[in-house]
A and B are shown apart, each in its own frame.
Chain A
């Protein structure tokens, strides 16, 4: 099968959907000729024109608000939010407006809006361009949250997001844009709320999201060399969450480490861990383990920044200790 970059996969997903549905349009900062700073959208404006690939001023609340209104009245906008950190700027439009409109209107109004943005540290971008803020959005009822972990997921989830009639925020891992993965030529969609099992195992489950899926897979390689069999499972969307698949895996292995690049406290790992405790407690042989970003603003110095996120070695060490009954 061919291999393409995550960047190309997102580009293909959006192009295909724009060809299929004339109401789909893209708006954001430098999305047209510039194709975004990460060049993810290169070529779109040439094919679809500036009417459907719209450069906006640097006014995040404004263009997200306009996208909400457009979504309410017949368009299917994809908003490009250059960095996930900018989500703080658009919280009212996203969480008070987009998320609640369907509910507040008693189901009469729909907001088919996609916000594509990113997450992830270790790009030496410091505290305001390195955060992983997906848990913040996932906390608000009414928005779906997708976390692609490779080019394959990025394409399939994006196509599903564009066809969804609800607001969806997709966080891409900005370190992964140039990474290749196998992506079929033929069309496919990945339904929301379906976890992917990347690797089957029997001793311990590693539940990992987005950027941490590769970290978990590498940890599983390290563990395999020590004859510890780790299962790696990727929820792919945290809203909705495929609780059933996660519980099934934990029931099989009886041990679990949950890894997510958001801050460890009050976030995704806490939520998934709690659900496992609530619903699979008697299947567990050891306490649920959680790993996330340190609860500090992301520091600039590479020496410090690298300390803030889980690594394959750290994940392997935690899983090893868990399997050996040391935790």
Chain B
């Protein structure tokens, strides 16, 4: 990580600060979402992205707004990194009419098509086909879009992924499969679930594979920049494993985790490998920002998040008439 960072010339300060801001935005969003759950203000439950911020931000900073992503049940990070706003996201989490999906999707289905987010998906691996299809559209329609399929190590067990990677390779589609290996699928270690080498699975289809430190936003960003520009030129598909860590449980209610991982392990990642703290230190070391600058960024974003939460808590729920709308584009469902 240190090596990757120290190679960076002192330029693009704005871009670096934006990466930092985006990671802080994700962390602040998740901290608030967790509080909403703990204080019983949020219906249902949700899956925290905290700890994995460098993955979503490193990838999405290399994308254009028109590029497409598909996301997972742990999708808030991807959504924010692709440009979504706090207010509409909190409204969605709270089932309010002003949410991105009018309150009908919820945490696990937020879609933000204006920013190219085709949606989070509550079926593990369920969006692999959708991302690949988006890449097919780009190719057939002569657009320069790239599609990124985010999925966790848990999705490595799904056959769909291998079916669509085969077709993506046969048809040379501009899609990047991003495996976020956060070491656990629900409550089980990845090595108990995935045999062999993860990258070998994609390599078997003749897909070029890459592995990077998912806690190092610059390393992720540089890799993504290269792969996105190559995919635009028709060199895709690509497969990337980013090694990262899930700070919280599988979901917000998963608080007693000692039967599957130790507190020491969690502490190590949170104190030594935190993507935001480490990137903040690098920004200071390179003279791109002072500790005060970073504290001001944090404070501003935290205030924004709090404002959005309060807005969402006061926002109206959908009208009852909304329940039968949008089953079809042209027909109303009736009782």
Contact = CB atoms under 8 A, between A and B. Distances in A.
A101 B329 CA distance: 11
A106 B159 contact: no
Interface stretch (B6-14, B135-143, B290-298): B135-143
Given A110-B329, A165-B330, A74 B130 contact: no
Contacts of A59: 163-164, 166-167
Contact of A108 (B111, B129, B140, B166): B111
Interface stretch (A90-98, A196-204, A218-226, A254-262): A90-98
A61 B164 CA distance: 9
A64 B327 contact: no
9 contacts: A56-B167, A62-B129, A62-B164, A65-B163, A66-B167, A68-B129, A102-B329, A103-B327, A108-B100
Given A69-B131, A73-B68, A97-B130, A103 B167 contact: no
B109 interface: yes
Nearest to A108: B113
Interface string A125-161: 0000000000000000110100000000000000000
Nearest to A102: B326
B170 interface: yes
Nearest to A75: B137
Nearest to A110: B329
Nearest to B168: A66
A215 B327 CA distance: 34
Interface size class of A (residues with CB under 8 A): 35 or more
Interface string A63-86: 111111111111101000000000
Contacts of B152: none
B123 A63 contact: no
A64 B130 CA distance: 9
Contact of A105 (B70, B105, B127, B328): B105
B45 interface: no
Contacts of A105: 100-101, 104-105, 109, 111, 113, 119, 326
A294 B331 CA distance: 33
B102 interface: yes
B255 to A, nearest CB: 28
B328 A144 contact: yes
B329 A166 contact: yes
Interface residues of B, number: 49
Contact of A67 (B133, B170, B327): B133
B186 to A, nearest CB: 18
A106 B96 CA distance: 11
Given A75-B140, A102-B327, A142-B327, A69 B99 contact: no
B181 interface: no
Contacts of A61: 129, 159-160, 163
Contacts of B111: 101, 104-105, 108-109
B276 interface: no
B160 A65 contact: yes
Given A103-B327, A108-B111, A69 B119 contact: no
Given A25-B140, A65-B129, 4 more contacts: A57-B166, A97-B121, A102-B328, A104-B104
Contacts of B171: 54
A47 interface: no
A66 B101 contact: no
Interface string B146-174: 01000000000001100110110011000
A18 to B, nearest CB: 13
B140 A92 contact: no
Contacts of B325: 107
A141 B329 CA distance: 12
